[in-house]
Amino acid sequence: METITSIKPLLAVLVSLLVTPLLVSSRTPNVREAWTFVAAIAKFLIVLSMLPTILKGTEIVYTVAEFLPGAAIKFRVDSFGMLFALVSSSLWIITTVYSIGYMRGLKEHSQTRYFCFFAIALSATIGVAFSANLLTLYLFYEILSLATYPLVCHHQDHEARSSGRKYLLYIVGTSIGLALPAMLISYNLAGTLEFGNQGFLAGTASKPLIGLLLFMFIFGFAKAAIMPFHSWLPAAMVAPTPVSALLHAVAVVKVGVFSVVRVLTGVFGTDLLLSFDLGSIILVVCSFTILVGSLIALSQDGLKRMLAFSTIAQLSYIVLGIGLLSPKGLTGGMLHIAMHAFGKITLFFCAGAIFVATGKKNISEMIGIGRRMPITMGAFFIGALSITGLPPCGGFWSKWYLLLGSLEANQMAIVVVLLLSSFLNACYFMPIVYKAFFCKPEDSLFENKVREAPVCCVVPLVITAVISIVFLFYPEPFLELATMTVSRIMGVQI
Amino acid sequence: MGDLLQIIVAKYNYWIYITLMMIGLYAMIGKNNLVKKIVGMSIFQTAIILFYVSIGVKKGATIPILEHGHGEHGHSAAALIVHAVDYVNPLPHVLMLTAIVVGVATLGVALALAIKVHNRFNTLEEDEILAQIREK
Amino acid sequence: MSQQYPALLIIVPLLSALLISITGWINKRLCFPIAVAALAVSAYSCIGLLLRVVDEGVIVYRLGGWDPPMGIAYYVDHLNALVLVVVSVVALINLIGSKKSIELEMPGKTAPFYALYVLQVTGLLGVVVTGDAFNLYVLLEITALSGYAMLAMGDDRAPLSTLNYLYIGTIGACFYLLGVGYLYIVTGSLNMVDIANILPPLYESKAVLAAFIICLVGVWLKMAFFPLHAWLPNAYTHAPSAASSLIAPLVTKVMIYVMIRLILTVFTPEFTFNILAISEPIVWLAVVAIFMGAILALAERNLKKMLTYIIVAEVGYMVGGAWLGNRLGMTGAILHIVNDALMTLCAFMVVSNVAYKLKGYAFDDLKGLFRKMPFTMGAFVVAALSMIGVPPTCGFFSKWYLISGAIQSGQYAFMVALLFSSLVNVVLFFRVIEICFYEPFSDHHGHGHDHHAEPMAEAPVSMLVPLYVVAGGLILVGIYTSDIVNYVIEFAIPKSIL
């Protein structure tokens, strides 16, 4: 594998961090938002400028400080990290537009704090994506946990307080209590923390110890919301909607999943998992989360809470894809990071737009809302299709690959789980869309003519919905990045 | 029994200092009055000074002052050799001069603090002071 | 000039302490500049010494030109050069940062306070630099006496709690002195290196064993190692802010240094780890210390007192790390001396800023503090993260070494204790942060507006700048951990420890 050294990864991480003093010192909200935009676009461009190099099969590395042999603060941009960085940095731009519309539309307090911590959270997200080893990943993982705390608790009321407690308890508790010791034990076993194509733990420990480490890592990165460590996510929905949208559908939860995937492939290695037959444990845990998450989502009335449970289920698809330990399964899992991100952020944007325009939070209050907000509900429909995995949306690709992967791995039970889950997805999404458009409004609020949320809220959700459709016809570059990663890891061409 | 007696007699200086130390320690832990505790502390320190002084002692040795200094000429080389056996070891005594100074300073600070406590609470009995603090 | 650094770093502050108390009668305003200048010279000498040691290796300085073992020699090796820098820099930064707070809390007593402050630093530096076991006792008492005087200048309860500290401190010092006495009986020397050379044939002697245990207990008393910690929380809580932010970071850490010096130089690792075979019980004791410190801290509803219990737990970290008996653990313990001094300094400086602006530092007083003192709280968050052990702050890296050491020697209880303490620290600090962040709740449920909030009332810039120097230091030291370990600590630990 060819590598080049470049400071670009560091820049991509730092750009949003360095902008925070400017945000704090900005005199007017307009200047502040302008700086956020500059940072978001700069970040995206830096990430994008590395894409051609990555697609050529070259990796970009940059070492900040060597702490111990094999455990430096070091960045390495590979195809998988690129995939994730591309998703989160592009969505940050869109979310910034949306945030402006949402925060101003509701006249929220402490907007400067909000934008600052948002920027820091994005720095940490990109940092995780570009980590070359477990130490760096852990570092940015922790920064992300703490940077999102003020965002989750933005409203500073009693509800935010108890949710914030839950959030910290689950996220920081598991990372210090499980992931940190697992990392230290791994380091003591292998003498390195550098992610390898086939991991670094192979041949260093017995099956029980490897199994224990696997358990500690999977549940230690609780941001992946694998049951039973999932309940922070619905609680975190007290945050303003842009936070839920970008962080709790894309950045934070995907960081969790990304970390788990990185650990499974780069620390354990697929061969080791295969030889110890540990993939089936992952499959069981993930299938359980998928089905139970979807079932709980069915029973929810709060729109954002419903989306949260849907997210919990969808996140496990990604880990499940890795757990299949087959090339197509891995591809599907990684691809789902991108596809789910665009679909779910659309849905969250819609929930926020409805809240800004009408103040409604519950599904039961949204009967007939399609007459008043047709664009929003149209986008909601597309997002829902993408999550369910139906054409004409990008979500179809990832589910297709996951199905192929489970056939490839001869896991017929997983095929059933996937199909059942898609059915459940349709069950909880489609009634909302149906009632929105075809039922007679019970609320006089919806009887008048079309009145959408502010433009800043509507445009982003239209964009993400359109992109979701575009992905069906043009899943590049994400598909290519995913297949590149898989062929590098498994040593096979797909 | 005879052995034990022998040990006690042979190393009587240790037994004395340990006894003194324990008396001091008891006063510091068991007494309620702050000044009595300070007294205990002084006994404790003095016990250790005694211990140091006693370890410099040698049987049949004299005070460590050289009778003939280096200035005297004309004597044989043998006369110039100092027989350490003849003198008690001066170093522990010198050390204890410093320790005594430290002890006095500690005592001074402790008494000053006791006066401050008395000014504030009008008593030196620890339980009464704690009761006053709890009442607030 | 640079040949005289070991002497300068003691003599300059010692003489200036005298000078300050004299100047105090003439012009009070001159005291502060003199103190700062004296400590700056010390800090400069210490840093110069550290650089020289890194360059040239161990430096031996004979006071007055007398050769050891007759005269007193100062040995400066990698270990104490590092601790010297920590002590002098922490003292200097804290002095600059607490000028306003000293003037507010002790009007009319500033001159004696500065004199005591400088004297205290003299003592601490002396303890670290000296190579003579008895000299160490004297300097220990200089430190302690000036410390008692400063601590007693605090609130109403300060004299009583200081008096309790004085009893325990004196017992501790006396125990140490007694231990040195036994060492002197068997070796006839007071010079640490000399003792180490004479001891090997005597390792089996009961007197050496007694000397070691007695010294160790004395040092433990002084460092507040659980269960000998009872004096610490009250003494530090009721003290003036400036005094507690000097003494809390440094005194316990210097005592840890003394313990490590006893282990490494005086008694040699071979004796302490191989012949004595008491490592395991002591590590268990450290485990208990960490657990108890964390649990007792949980029970507190007062910021400063909570921090004092965290110190008790942190002492457990370092004692445990040093007694793991392997290189990683020892590295962690030494690194944690540096890190914990900075972390504690940062936290206590925050407390002194808070005390400067608010009535007190009980949890109830802290409501809405993020709005009132955003910059101070920013530094508090950094200190909290470091104590929790979040990278890239320095607290993470020393914890890394300590846990690695625990894994290597199979002391999993110690690992669990460290993780437990990290988790408890999360609870402790986020409980404070929560109080500062949420309350008072705004009138509009969920959507507060800026104009309801209290106006900002931040501490003066002269207190904030040093605070931020320390907070930045926490992150910088974290990032440059590898340099500290590779160039300094690596050489501070004898090769015999693997």
Which pLDDT tens digit goes with each residue over B28-74? 888 889 999 999 999 999 999 998 888 877 777 777 776 665 554 55
Question: Which one of C120, C166, C186 would you mutate to disrupt binding with B, by most B Cβ within 10 Å of its Cβ?
Answer: C166
pLDDT (tens digit, 9 = 90+) per residue, A101-136?
778 777 777 778 888 888 888 889 999 999 988 889
The DSSP line for A390-439 is -TTSTHHHHHHHHHHHHHHTT-HHHHHHHHHHHHHHHHHHHHHHHHHHHS
Query: Which chains lie within 8 Å of chain C at 3 or more CB pairs, if any?
Result: A, B
Region A152-172: mean pLDDT is 84
Q: Please identify among residues 167-206 of chain A the ones whose CB lies closer than 8 Å to any CB of chain C.
A: 168, 172-173, 176-177, 180-181, 184-185, 187-188
Note whether C385 and C378 are within 8 A (CB): no
pLDDT (tens digit, 9 = 90+) per residue, A450-491?
777 777 788 888 888 888 888 888 887 788 888 888 888 877
Q: What is the pLDDT of residue C444?
A: 44
**pLDDT higher than threshold 80 for residue C176:** yes
Note whether C479 and A65 are within 8 A (CB): yes
Query: What percent of chain C clears pLDDT 70, i.e. is strictly above it?
Result: 96
**Torsion of Cα atoms, A168 then A173 then A178 then A182, to 10°:** 70
Q: Which residue of C has its CA nearest to A136?
A: C391
CA-closest candidate to residue C275, choices C206, C327, C332: C206
pLDDT (tens digit, 9 = 90+) per residue, A250-306?
888 889 999 999 888 888 888 888 888 888 888 888 899 999 989 998 888 888 888
Do B113 and C171 count as a contact with CB atoms less than 8 A apart? no
Note whether A87 and A339 are within 8 A (CB): no
Note whether C400 and C321 are within 8 A (CB): no
Residue C362: beta bridge partners?
A: C302
CA distance A170 to A155: 20
CA-closest candidate to residue C389, choices C381, C376, C380, C398: C398
pLDDT band at A395 (very low <50, low <70, confident <90, very high): confident
**pLDDT higher than threshold 60 for residue C66:** yes
CA distance A206 to A211: 9
Q: Cβ neighbours of residue A443 under 8 Å, at least 6 residues apart?
A: A365, A367, A368
Q: What is the pLDDT of residue A446?
A: 61
pLDDT (tens digit, 9 = 90+) per residue, C183-205?
888 888 888 888 888 888 888 88
Q: What are φ and ψ of residue C140, in 5° steps?
A: -60, -40
In chain A, what residues touch C377 (CB-CB under 8 Å)?
none
**pLDDT higher than threshold 50 for residue C446:** no
Give the mean pLDDT of chain C.
Answer: 87
pLDDT (tens digit, 9 = 90+) per residue, C118-156?
999 999 999 998 888 888 999 999 999 999 999 998 888
**pLDDT higher than threshold 70 for residue C419:** yes
Question: Which one of A20, A66, A156, A241 would you mutate to disrupt binding with C, by most C Cβ within 10 Å of its Cβ?
Answer: A156
- The dihedral through the CA atoms of C368, C372, C374, C377 has a sign that is negative
- pTM comes to 0.89
**pLDDT higher than threshold 50 for residue C443:** no
Task: Using alpha carbons, list the distances in angstroms from residue C73 to A383, C51, C86.
Answer: 78, 20, 22
Total Cβ atoms within 10 A of residue C350: 29
Q: Which residue of C has its CA nearest to B27?
A: C167
CA distance B121 to B111: 15
Please check whether residue A419 touches C, CB under 8 A.
no
| CA distance, residue C457 to nearest chain A CA (Å) | 18
Residue C403 within any structural domain of the chain: yes
Query: What percent of chain A clears pLDDT 70, i.e. is strictly above it?
Result: 98
Please check whether residue A142 touches C, CB under 8 A.
yes
Nearest to A188 among C404, C442, C450 (CB): C404
> What is residue C36's three-state secondary structure?
helix
The DSSP line for C316-329 is HHHHHHHHT-SHHH
pLDDT (tens digit, 9 = 90+) per residue, C339-384?
999 999 999 999 988 888 887 778 877 887 888 888 888 899 999 9
CA distance A465 to A384: 10
pLDDT band at C445 (very low <50, low <70, confident <90, very high): very low
The distance from CA C80 to its chain's CA centroid, rounded to whole angstroms, is 13
Q: Which residue of B has its CA nearest to C151?
A: B113
Q: If residue A62 lies in a helix (H) or strand (E), which one and from where to where?
A: strand A59-68
Task: Using alpha carbons, list the distances in angstroms from residue A382 to A205, A466, B88.
Answer: 48, 8, 100
Q: Is B72 exposed, middle or buried (0-12, 13-18, 19+ CB in 10 A)?
A: exposed
Do B105 and C170 count as a contact with CB atoms less than 8 A apart? no
Please check whether residue A159 touches C, CB under 8 A.
yes
pLDDT (tens digit, 9 = 90+) per residue, A79-96?
888 888 988 888 888 888
Region A7-33: mean pLDDT is 83
In chain C, what residues touch A155 (CB-CB under 8 Å)?
446-448
CA distance B36 to B18: 19
Question: Cis ω on the peptide bond leading into residue A454 (within 30° of 0)?
Answer: no
Do A184 and C407 count as a contact with CB atoms less than 8 A apart? yes
Six-digit token pair at C227?
Answer: 């269960």
> What is residue A68's three-state secondary structure?
strand
Please check whether residue C57 touches B, CB under 8 A.
no
Six-digit token pair at C167?
Answer: 């009893």
Q: What is the pLDDT of residue B75?
A: 54
In chain C, what residues touch A107 (CB-CB under 8 Å)?
447, 449
pLDDT band at A8 (very low <50, low <70, confident <90, very high): confident
**Torsion of Cα atoms, A189 then A190 then A196 then A197, to 10°:** -70
Give the CA angle between residues C388, C393, C399 to the nearest 5°.
55
Q: Which residues of C98-132 are buried (b: 16+ CB within 10 A; e: fewer)?
A: bbbbbbebbeebbbbbbbbbbbbbbbbbbbbbbbb
The residue with greater pLDDT, C445 or B125, is B125
CA distance C326 to C280: 12
**pLDDT higher than threshold 70 for residue A443:** no
Do C178 and B114 count as a contact with CB atoms less than 8 A apart? no
The residue with greater pLDDT, A491 or A416, is A416
Do C391 and A187 count as a contact with CB atoms less than 8 A apart? no
Please identify which residue in the block is written with the tokens 């509800």. Answer: A159
Query: What percent of chain A clears pLDDT 90, i.e. is strictly above it?
Result: 2
Do B110 and C141 count as a contact with CB atoms less than 8 A apart? no
pLDDT (tens digit, 9 = 90+) per residue, A192-207?
888 888 888 877 888 8
CA distance A350 to A245: 10
Tally of domains in chain C = 1
pLDDT band at C279 (very low <50, low <70, confident <90, very high): confident
CB pairs < 8 Å spanning A and C: 86
Six-digit token pair at A391?
Answer: 């054409």
Region C166-187: mean pLDDT is 91
| CA distance, residue C274 to nearest chain B CA (Å) | 30
Six-digit token pair at B47?
Answer: 């016990």
Q: Please identify among residues 187-206 of chain C the ones whose CB lies closer than 8 Å to any CB of chain B.
A: 190
Nearest to B114 among C157, C163, C174 (CB): C163
Query: Which chains lie within 8 Å of chain B at 3 or more CB pairs, if any?
Result: C
pLDDT band at C442 (very low <50, low <70, confident <90, very high): very low
Note whether A341 and A318 are within 8 A (CB): no
Give the mean pLDDT of chain A.
Answer: 85
pLDDT band at C67 (very low <50, low <70, confident <90, very high): confident
Q: What is the pLDDT of residue C447?
A: 45
Give the highest mean pLDDT range of A359-363, B11-15, C16-20: C16-20
Six-digit token pair at C141?
Answer: 């008492």
Query: What percent of chain C clears pLDDT 90, i.e. is strictly above it?
Result: 39
In chain C, what residues touch B105 (CB-CB under 8 Å)?
141, 145
In eight-state DSSP terms, residue A73 is E
In chain C, what residues touch B51 (CB-CB under 8 Å)?
178, 181
Q: Which domain holds residue C296?
A: 279-498
Task: Using alpha carbons, list the distances in angstroms from residue A293 to A219, A254, A311, A344, A394.
Answer: 16, 17, 8, 15, 22
Do C482 and A67 count as a contact with CB atoms less than 8 A apart? yes
Do A161 and C438 count as a contact with CB atoms less than 8 A apart? yes
Do C166 and B113 count as a contact with CB atoms less than 8 A apart? yes
Note whether A70 and A101 are within 8 A (CB): no
Listed in order, strand segments (DSSP E) in B6-127 are none
Do C482 and A65 count as a contact with CB atoms less than 8 A apart? yes
Q: Which residues of A101-137 are buried (b: 16+ CB within 10 A; e: fewer)?
A: bbbbbbebbbbebbbbbbbbbbbbbbbbbbbbbbbbb
**pLDDT higher than threshold 50 for residue C451:** no
Q: Which residue of C has its CA nearest to B89?
A: C188
Which strands, in side-by-side order, build the sheet including A59-68? A3-5, A59-68, A71-77
Region A328-332: mean pLDDT is 87
Q: Is B82 exposed, middle or buried (0-12, 13-18, 19+ CB in 10 A)?
A: exposed
CA distance C186 to C201: 11
Six-digit token pair at C466?
Answer: 């040093």
**pLDDT higher than threshold 70 for residue A445:** no
pLDDT (tens digit, 9 = 90+) per residue, B71-112?
545 555 555 666 777 777 888 888 888 899 999 999 999 999
pLDDT (tens digit, 9 = 90+) per residue, A54-88?
888 888 888 888 877 778 888 888 888 888 898 88
In chain C, % helix, strand, coil (3-state, to 5) comes to 80, 5, 20
CA distance A145 to A437: 39
Domains of chain B with bracketed CATH: 2-135 (1.10.287.3510)
Distance in angstroms between the alpha carbons of the first and the last residue of chain C: 38
CA distance A363 to A379: 16
Please check whether residue C174 touches B, CB under 8 A.
yes
